[in-house]
Chains A and B, each alone.
Chain A
């Protein structure tokens, strides 16, 4: 492009101002890329159950209300259900209250039938099954606490008067969940029977065909509709989404904060770009005098401002990608963000937003420059 040199030279004519504008845009796009990545991470988490032939049965009143253990057999009797397992949220921490992670009491013998997406070496699974105080843990927890198989760890529950000391018998592998802690429901039930009675938080049913999930969930809920403990059955994806919704409307919050941050950068960049255009009034008048049309001036200035926006945005976005790729966010967030990173979709979103920022911020000064009367501009020159 024959005007490339002129655009590039103008872009860097005031190096300090360009540098500061780039730093500002990079910082804000780093922030926005991080927020959008957290949102994307939540989305991935809520979609992690998709494709699994698993249904979650919880109380129709709320997730906090337990269901009687007797429901298990009735669920199993429904046609198409392969197996059913109990799962109880334990809500414990390790050593310190801020050492929090997901921990559950589950039917230990259902790991291969209901949670068969969790891969556990055969010898480790056998050791876990054989030990009532055994536990299976995610690789991230092992890495975080330096645990190894055979270690005994004590969990302190924030819900139940039961602080079990459990032996790590196995480390599972899973495509997304890398930081959960599972131990025997029998052991939990025996220790908390007086408090919990014959109840459990949720049942998880594996069904034979995914096409039957809708029918089966309807049948389960119909079966208990008029009982003292009505149920609400979800697919695993729906359950995860419901769980994410419980955190609050994070998506709306993060999106709002991101938009505010982008608007802020638009305003700040607009000030900078207006200054850049204003100090070039006479030059623009000279360019117009020698034959540069309004359209050419407008195009040149918009390309300059959009390039600045895109460069700043790219710096921040790829900076965020590099930083998040090099630090262990799972460890920093104590397992809250698993598999965190800036994905391609977020990168593209940020780059498009950066182009829009360049257009919005540079649009007005560019239009004003293009519309500048040659005579008015040259009045300072002639």
Chain B
């Protein structure tokens, strides 16, 4: 598989008042197209920061982030927003649907940024909600859905634009075991059947087991000496 995401010697330092807080210290990772990668590590290890950099909602202090051949770390804010709309699907721990919009309208949101006509948008929304198994909940508002259903709608929103990459931060962190299992099944299905590249941050080893590869971070560096880490870091350095 060719590399979709290449992280090259990335450093990230946050400013907190007058202090510099280093979060990532020279991380290099290569994520192949069609991969399902789990990022694990303790709190403060930098896994969410790494996810943010890959998703284009943050920029590295040093180093390069290349996604699908484009160095997004060099993009300005406007270009990044346009790039995210076309290439990234977000799945949040708390679902983060817009409470005043129903399931259909929430899934339609990213499509409003495209040039699709109303009819085409409707087709995309129907397809996305069918994939996540909620074609009959289109007119339901978030408050009328269970946590698992909300996360399914959020996944439908993430895949509605057919993005290059799906990023998920603790997608099962707020769900019961059964719902979490179903969401992980869904992510696996999206990866296996729809060839979606998925990068997921998780604390849950059971969730990580569903991924094709697992990387461990600690104090801003890749620490796992397993096959995955060695192989993926090596790919990036090459």
Which secondary structure dominates where chain B touches chain A?
helix
Expressed in whole angstroms, the minimum distance between the Cβ of B101 and any Cβ of chain A is: 6
A10 adjacent to B84 (CB under 8 Å): no
Expressed in whole angstroms, the minimum distance between the Cβ of A52 and any Cβ of chain B is: 61
Mark the stretch among B61-69, B106-114, B215-223, B228-236 that contacts chain A: B106-114
**Residues 282-303 of A at the B interface (beta carbon under 8 Å):** 282-283, 286-296
Which secondary structure dominates where chain A touches chain B?
helix
A374 adjacent to B85 (CB under 8 Å): no
B81 adjacent to A2 (CB under 8 Å): no
* Residue B100 at the chain A interface, CB threshold 8 Å: yes
* Residue B90 at the chain A interface, CB threshold 8 Å: yes
A375 adjacent to B96 (CB under 8 Å): no
Q: Inside 8 A of B84's CB, which chain A residues have their CB?
A: 289-291
Mark the stretch among B24-32, B50-58, B143-151, B187-195 that contacts chain A: B50-58
Known: A290-B85, A292-B113, A294-B78. A10 touches B93 (CB 8 A): no
Expressed in whole angstroms, the minimum distance between the Cβ of A125 and any Cβ of chain B is: 70
* Residue B86 at the chain A interface, CB threshold 8 Å: yes
* Residue A381 at the chain B interface, CB threshold 8 Å: yes
Interface range, A side:
20 to 34
Expressed in whole angstroms, the minimum distance between the Cβ of B12 and any Cβ of chain A is: 10
* Residue B77 at the chain A interface, CB threshold 8 Å: yes
The docked-state distance in angstroms from the alpha carbon of A381 to that of B167 is: 14
B109 adjacent to A289 (CB under 8 Å): no
A375 adjacent to B52 (CB under 8 Å): yes
B157 adjacent to A382 (CB under 8 Å): no
Excluding A290-B113, A291-B86, 19 further A-B contacts by CB distance (< 8 Å) are A13-B100, A283-B98, A286-B90, A288-B57, A288-B81, A289-B55, A290-B85, A290-B88, A290-B109, A291-B85, A291-B110, A292-B85, A294-B77, A375-B52, A375-B57, A381-B94, A382-B51, A382-B93, A382-B170
4 tightest Cβ-Cβ pairs between the two chains A and B: A291-B85, A9-B100, A374-B57, A293-B81
Interface of A toward B, CB cutoff 8 Å: 2-3, 5-6, 9-10, 13, 282-283, 286-296, 374-375, 378, 381-382
